[in-house]
Structure 1
Amino acid sequence: MTRNEKGSATLHSLFAAVLLLTALAAAILWSTISTARHKLATAADLTALSAAQSLANPAATDASTTASGATTFDITGARTASDLPGPDLSTSSSSALDRTIPCAIAARIAALQKVDLVACHPTPTSVTIQVALDLRLPFTHPTLTTTARAGPL
Protein backbone atom coordinates (compact mmCIF):
# COMPACT_ATOMS: atom_id res chain seq x y z
CA MET A 1 0.00 0.00 0.00
CA THR A 2 1.40 3.35 -0.94
CA ARG A 3 1.32 6.45 1.16
CA ASN A 4 -1.52 7.97 -0.94
CA GLU A 5 -3.81 5.00 -0.34
CA LYS A 6 -3.79 5.11 3.47
CA GLY A 7 -7.34 5.38 4.89
CA SER A 8 -9.07 4.42 1.64
CA ALA A 9 -10.37 1.19 3.16
CA THR A 10 -12.11 3.22 5.86
CA LEU A 11 -13.81 5.42 3.27
CA HIS A 12 -14.86 2.41 1.18
CA SER A 13 -16.29 0.70 4.28
CA LEU A 14 -18.15 3.85 5.28
CA PHE A 15 -19.57 4.23 1.77
CA ALA A 16 -20.69 0.58 1.76
CA ALA A 17 -22.37 0.99 5.17
CA VAL A 18 -24.27 4.10 4.02
CA LEU A 19 -25.32 2.30 0.84
CA LEU A 20 -26.58 -0.72 2.80
CA LEU A 21 -28.48 1.46 5.30
CA THR A 22 -30.13 3.36 2.43
CA ALA A 23 -31.16 0.11 0.77
CA LEU A 24 -32.53 -1.19 4.08
CA ALA A 25 -34.54 2.01 4.66
CA ALA A 26 -35.98 1.81 1.13
CA ALA A 27 -36.93 -1.85 1.64
CA ILE A 28 -38.66 -1.07 4.95
CA LEU A 29 -40.55 1.86 3.38
CA TRP A 30 -41.64 -0.25 0.41
CA SER A 31 -42.81 -3.12 2.62
CA THR A 32 -44.72 -0.75 4.93
CA ILE A 33 -46.60 0.83 2.02
CA SER A 34 -47.21 -2.54 0.37
CA THR A 35 -48.59 -4.04 3.57
CA ALA A 36 -50.82 -1.01 4.13
CA ARG A 37 -52.18 -1.23 0.57
CA HIS A 38 -53.06 -4.90 1.05
CA LYS A 39 -54.70 -4.18 4.40
CA LEU A 40 -56.68 -1.33 2.87
CA ALA A 41 -57.85 -3.43 -0.08
CA THR A 42 -58.94 -6.22 2.25
CA ALA A 43 -60.78 -3.80 4.52
CA ALA A 44 -62.51 -2.19 1.53
CA ASP A 45 -63.67 -5.55 0.20
CA LEU A 46 -64.92 -6.66 3.60
CA THR A 47 -66.72 -3.36 4.16
CA ALA A 48 -68.42 -3.45 0.76
CA LEU A 49 -69.45 -7.09 1.16
CA SER A 50 -70.90 -6.42 4.62
CA ALA A 51 -72.88 -3.44 3.34
CA ALA A 52 -74.11 -5.42 0.33
CA GLN A 53 -75.23 -8.25 2.60
CA SER A 54 -77.69 -5.82 4.18
CA LEU A 55 -79.23 -5.27 0.74
CA ALA A 56 -79.71 -9.00 0.25
CA ASN A 57 -81.04 -9.69 3.73
CA PRO A 58 -83.13 -6.75 4.95
CA ALA A 59 -84.68 -8.87 7.72
CA ALA A 60 -81.31 -9.16 9.45
CA THR A 61 -80.84 -5.41 9.49
CA ASP A 62 -84.30 -4.86 11.00
CA ALA A 63 -83.00 -6.48 14.19
CA SER A 64 -80.50 -3.65 14.57
CA THR A 65 -83.17 -0.95 14.66
CA THR A 66 -84.64 0.24 17.91
CA ALA A 67 -88.34 0.72 18.64
CA SER A 68 -88.11 4.39 17.58
CA GLY A 69 -86.68 3.35 14.20
CA ALA A 70 -83.17 4.68 14.89
CA THR A 71 -80.31 2.39 14.06
CA THR A 72 -77.68 2.05 16.76
CA PHE A 73 -74.37 0.27 16.69
CA ASP A 74 -72.37 -0.24 19.83
CA ILE A 75 -68.77 -0.88 18.85
CA THR A 76 -66.79 0.43 21.78
CA GLY A 77 -69.43 3.13 22.17
CA ALA A 78 -68.05 5.09 19.24
CA ARG A 79 -70.65 4.95 16.47
CA THR A 80 -74.36 5.53 16.47
CA ALA A 81 -76.67 6.41 13.63
CA SER A 82 -76.58 10.07 14.68
CA ASP A 83 -72.79 10.12 14.09
CA LEU A 84 -73.19 9.06 10.47
CA PRO A 85 -73.77 11.49 7.61
CA GLY A 86 -77.17 11.38 6.01
CA PRO A 87 -80.76 11.81 7.05
CA ASP A 88 -81.96 11.56 10.64
CA LEU A 89 -83.07 7.96 11.00
CA SER A 90 -85.59 8.64 13.74
CA THR A 91 -87.72 10.83 11.48
CA SER A 92 -86.96 9.38 8.06
CA SER A 93 -89.21 7.23 5.97
CA SER A 94 -88.78 3.53 5.37
CA SER A 95 -87.03 4.03 2.00
CA ALA A 96 -84.50 6.45 3.51
CA LEU A 97 -83.92 4.00 6.36
CA ASP A 98 -83.28 1.18 3.88
CA ARG A 99 -80.80 3.40 2.02
CA THR A 100 -78.97 4.42 5.20
CA ILE A 101 -78.54 0.96 6.71
CA PRO A 102 -75.83 -0.25 4.26
CA CYS A 103 -73.78 2.89 4.94
CA ALA A 104 -74.19 2.50 8.70
CA ILE A 105 -72.99 -1.09 8.44
CA ALA A 106 -70.11 0.02 6.20
CA ALA A 107 -69.09 2.66 8.77
CA ARG A 108 -69.17 0.07 11.55
CA ILE A 109 -67.08 -2.47 9.64
CA ALA A 110 -64.61 0.21 8.51
CA ALA A 111 -64.16 1.33 12.12
CA LEU A 112 -63.54 -2.26 13.18
CA GLN A 113 -60.91 -2.59 10.44
CA LYS A 114 -59.28 0.68 11.60
CA VAL A 115 -59.80 2.49 8.29
CA ASP A 116 -61.84 5.61 7.53
CA LEU A 117 -65.03 5.39 5.48
CA VAL A 118 -64.75 8.25 2.99
CA ALA A 119 -67.80 7.62 0.81
CA CYS A 120 -70.72 5.22 0.63
CA HIS A 121 -73.06 5.05 -2.35
CA PRO A 122 -75.80 2.42 -2.06
CA THR A 123 -78.02 1.57 -5.01
CA PRO A 124 -80.85 -0.96 -5.06
CA THR A 125 -78.48 -3.60 -6.44
CA SER A 126 -75.03 -2.73 -5.09
CA VAL A 127 -72.97 -0.68 -2.65
CA THR A 128 -69.86 1.28 -3.61
CA ILE A 129 -67.61 2.41 -0.79
CA GLN A 130 -64.35 4.29 -0.55
CA VAL A 131 -62.03 3.86 2.42
CA ALA A 132 -58.82 5.61 3.43
CA LEU A 133 -55.88 4.81 5.66
CA ASP A 134 -53.41 7.36 7.05
CA LEU A 135 -49.84 6.10 7.18
CA ARG A 136 -47.52 7.35 9.88
CA LEU A 137 -44.13 7.38 8.21
CA PRO A 138 -41.10 9.18 9.67
CA PHE A 139 -40.96 12.11 7.22
CA THR A 140 -44.43 12.16 5.70
CA HIS A 141 -48.02 11.11 6.42
CA PRO A 142 -49.58 9.97 3.12
CA THR A 143 -53.21 8.87 2.89
CA LEU A 144 -53.98 5.77 0.85
CA THR A 145 -57.50 5.37 -0.56
CA THR A 146 -59.27 2.61 -2.42
CA THR A 147 -62.74 1.86 -3.70
CA ALA A 148 -64.72 -1.38 -3.56
CA ARG A 149 -68.10 -2.35 -4.96
CA ALA A 150 -70.27 -5.30 -4.04
CA GLY A 151 -73.78 -6.43 -4.87
CA PRO A 152 -76.13 -8.53 -2.81
CA LEU A 153 -75.01 -12.09 -2.29
Structure 2
Amino acid sequence: MCVRPVGGAVRHRRRRVRSERGSGSLLTLFACVVVATAVAMATLWAAISTERHNLAAAADLTALSAAQSLASGAPDPCVTARRVATTHQVALADCRVTADTISIRVTKQLNLAALASPTLSAQARAGPA
Protein backbone atom coordinates (compact mmCIF):
# COMPACT_ATOMS: atom_id res chain seq x y z
CA MET A 1 0.00 0.00 0.00
CA CYS A 2 1.42 3.32 -0.96
CA VAL A 3 0.76 6.51 0.84
CA ARG A 4 1.54 9.73 -0.90
CA PRO A 5 2.02 12.56 1.51
CA VAL A 6 1.18 16.04 0.39
CA GLY A 7 4.06 17.41 -1.61
CA GLY A 8 6.34 14.61 -1.75
CA ALA A 9 7.74 11.18 -2.09
CA VAL A 10 5.96 7.89 -1.94
CA ARG A 11 6.25 6.04 1.33
CA HIS A 12 5.46 2.37 1.61
CA ARG A 13 3.65 1.16 4.65
CA ARG A 14 4.53 -2.33 5.78
CA ARG A 15 1.75 -4.61 6.68
CA ARG A 16 2.26 -6.49 9.87
CA VAL A 17 1.96 -10.16 9.20
CA ARG A 18 1.31 -12.32 12.23
CA SER A 19 3.81 -15.08 12.36
CA GLU A 20 2.97 -18.54 13.65
CA ARG A 21 6.60 -19.13 14.32
CA GLY A 22 7.13 -21.07 17.56
CA SER A 23 3.58 -22.39 17.78
CA GLY A 24 4.79 -25.88 16.84
CA SER A 25 7.18 -25.81 19.79
CA LEU A 26 4.37 -24.89 22.16
CA LEU A 27 2.11 -27.61 20.80
CA THR A 28 4.90 -30.16 21.14
CA LEU A 29 5.59 -29.04 24.70
CA PHE A 30 1.90 -29.28 25.57
CA ALA A 31 1.66 -32.76 24.04
CA CYS A 32 4.72 -33.90 26.02
CA VAL A 33 3.18 -32.63 29.26
CA VAL A 34 -0.07 -34.46 28.53
CA VAL A 35 1.74 -37.70 27.69
CA ALA A 36 3.97 -37.45 30.78
CA THR A 37 0.91 -36.90 32.99
CA ALA A 38 -0.86 -39.89 31.45
CA VAL A 39 2.20 -42.09 31.97
CA ALA A 40 2.50 -40.97 35.60
CA MET A 41 -1.17 -41.69 36.27
CA ALA A 42 -0.95 -45.11 34.60
CA THR A 43 2.12 -45.95 36.68
CA LEU A 44 0.36 -44.97 39.91
CA TRP A 45 -2.72 -46.96 38.96
CA ALA A 46 -0.60 -50.01 38.15
CA ALA A 47 1.30 -49.77 41.43
CA ILE A 48 -1.88 -49.51 43.50
CA SER A 49 -3.58 -52.31 41.56
CA THR A 50 -0.60 -54.62 41.95
CA GLU A 51 -0.41 -53.95 45.69
CA ARG A 52 -4.16 -54.60 46.06
CA HIS A 53 -3.74 -58.03 44.45
CA ASN A 54 -0.70 -58.81 46.59
CA LEU A 55 -2.57 -57.71 49.70
CA ALA A 56 -5.57 -59.91 48.85
CA ALA A 57 -3.27 -62.90 48.34
CA ALA A 58 -1.53 -62.21 51.66
CA ALA A 59 -4.92 -61.97 53.41
CA ASP A 60 -6.04 -65.29 51.92
CA LEU A 61 -2.83 -67.07 52.90
CA THR A 62 -2.95 -65.58 56.39
CA ALA A 63 -6.54 -66.71 56.91
CA LEU A 64 -5.82 -70.20 55.58
CA SER A 65 -2.77 -70.60 57.82
CA ALA A 66 -4.72 -69.44 60.87
CA ALA A 67 -7.61 -71.78 60.02
CA GLN A 68 -5.21 -74.71 59.70
CA SER A 69 -3.72 -73.74 63.04
CA LEU A 70 -7.22 -73.64 64.56
CA ALA A 71 -8.07 -77.04 63.09
CA SER A 72 -4.87 -78.56 64.49
CA GLY A 73 -5.82 -77.41 67.99
CA ALA A 74 -3.49 -74.45 68.53
CA PRO A 75 -4.51 -72.32 71.50
CA ASP A 76 -4.35 -68.98 69.64
CA PRO A 77 -4.52 -69.08 65.82
CA CYS A 78 -4.15 -65.28 65.72
CA VAL A 79 -0.49 -65.70 66.67
CA THR A 80 -0.04 -67.81 63.55
CA ALA A 81 -1.96 -65.21 61.54
CA ARG A 82 0.30 -62.41 62.81
CA ARG A 83 3.44 -64.41 61.96
CA VAL A 84 2.24 -65.18 58.43
CA ALA A 85 1.13 -61.58 57.88
CA THR A 86 4.55 -60.33 58.96
CA THR A 87 6.18 -62.77 56.56
CA HIS A 88 4.12 -61.23 53.73
CA GLN A 89 5.06 -57.70 54.86
CA VAL A 90 1.53 -56.68 55.83
CA ALA A 91 0.06 -55.68 59.19
CA LEU A 92 -2.60 -57.81 60.83
CA ALA A 93 -5.27 -55.26 61.75
CA ASP A 94 -7.98 -57.63 62.98
CA CYS A 95 -8.26 -61.32 63.80
CA ARG A 96 -11.53 -62.88 64.94
CA VAL A 97 -12.00 -66.49 65.85
CA THR A 98 -15.50 -67.94 65.80
CA ALA A 99 -16.45 -71.54 66.45
CA ASP A 100 -14.59 -72.97 63.46
CA THR A 101 -13.70 -70.02 61.21
CA ILE A 102 -11.12 -67.27 61.19
CA SER A 103 -11.81 -63.76 59.89
CA ILE A 104 -8.82 -61.50 59.40
CA ARG A 105 -8.12 -58.04 58.03
CA VAL A 106 -4.65 -57.00 56.89
CA THR A 107 -3.38 -53.54 55.93
CA LYS A 108 -0.39 -52.12 54.12
CA GLN A 109 0.85 -48.54 53.87
CA LEU A 110 1.97 -47.61 50.36
CA ASN A 111 4.62 -45.00 49.73
CA LEU A 112 4.00 -43.38 46.36
CA ALA A 113 6.85 -40.86 46.48
CA ALA A 114 5.67 -37.36 47.33
CA LEU A 115 2.21 -37.85 45.84
CA ALA A 116 0.38 -39.91 48.44
CA SER A 117 0.65 -42.61 51.08
CA PRO A 118 -2.61 -44.55 51.00
CA THR A 119 -3.33 -47.41 53.37
CA LEU A 120 -4.81 -50.44 51.63
CA SER A 121 -6.72 -53.17 53.44
CA ALA A 122 -8.08 -56.59 52.56
CA GLN A 123 -10.24 -59.10 54.40
CA ALA A 124 -10.38 -62.86 54.27
CA ARG A 125 -12.19 -65.66 56.05
CA ALA A 126 -11.28 -69.33 56.23
CA GLY A 127 -12.55 -72.44 57.95
CA PRO A 128 -13.22 -76.12 57.39
CA ALA A 129 -14.58 -77.19 54.04
Alignment TM-score > 0.5, same fold: yes
Higher relative helix content: 1
Matched residue count? 112
5+ residue gaps, structure 2, are 1-16
Matched to 2:32, the amino acid is A
Q: Which runs of 4+ in 1 moved over 3 A?
A: none
Correspondence 1:6 to 2:21:
yes
Shift of 1:3: 4.2
TM (normalized to structure 1)? Answer: 0.70
Shift of 1:152: 2.9
Task: Tell me, in whole angstroms, the C-alpha distance in 2 between the residues paired with 1:48 and 1:4.
Answer: 69
Task: Tell me, in whole angstroms, the C-alpha distance in 2 between the residues paired with 1:14 and 1:115.
Answer: 42
Q: Deviations over 1:17-66 (max 9, x none)?
A: 000000000000000000010000000000000000012222xx4xxxxx
Q: Which has the higher contact order (CA 8 A, sep 6+)?
A: 1
TM (normalized to structure 2)? Answer: 0.83
Correspondence 1:140 to 2:111:
no
Matched to 1:55, the amino acid is L
Identity among equivalent positions (%) equals 51
Larger radius of gyration: 2
Q: Give the RMSD, CA atoms, in angstroms.
A: 1.2
Shift of 1:4: 2.2
Task: Tell me, in whole angstroms, the C-alpha distance in 2 between the residues paired with 1:17 and 1:149.
Answer: 47
Aligned to 2:34: 19
